[in-house]
């Protein structure tokens, strides 16, 4: 019996693991963002950039975010046709200057 006690007293407990176990991860789905908030000091005149009263830096910036456009500026500043809206655009008459736009059938927007 003394021999068993002596042997058990000499036994080694295993050391703690070198790498702790990683805690379980919970994946939270990202919320779909569908709103843009734009802060401006003041809008003078109107929100319509197509009128004289609506010509301002603020309405121009807002309209570029909100209104559809057949062409948008590329990174180098050159106009590029928006293929989400148009299938094509071509000059069909020189005098008077006439451009015919072909709008995608599935293109839509609302206010």
Range name among 19-23, 43-47, 51-55 with the lowest pLDDT average:
19-23
This model's pTM is above 0.75: no
Domain range summary for the chain, segments of one domain joined by +: 69-106
Residue 3: per-residue pLDDT: 56
Instruction: Determine the length of the chain.
Output: 111
- Tally Cβ neighbours within 10 Å of residue 68: 14
């Amino acid at each position: 019996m003394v021999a068993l006690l002596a042997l058990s007293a000499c036994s080694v407990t295993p050391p703690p693991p070198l790498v702790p176990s990683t805690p379980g991860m919970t994946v939270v789905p990202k919320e779909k963002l569908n709103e843009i908030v734009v802060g401006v000091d003041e809008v003078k005149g109107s929100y319509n950039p197509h009128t004289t009263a609506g010509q301002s830096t603020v309405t121009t910036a807002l309209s570029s975010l909100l209104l559809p456009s057949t062409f948008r500026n590329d990174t180098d500043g050159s106009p590029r046709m928006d293929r989400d809206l148009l299938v094509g655009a071509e000059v069909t008459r020189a005098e008077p200057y006439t451009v015919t736009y072909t709008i995608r059938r599935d293109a839509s927007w609302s206010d």
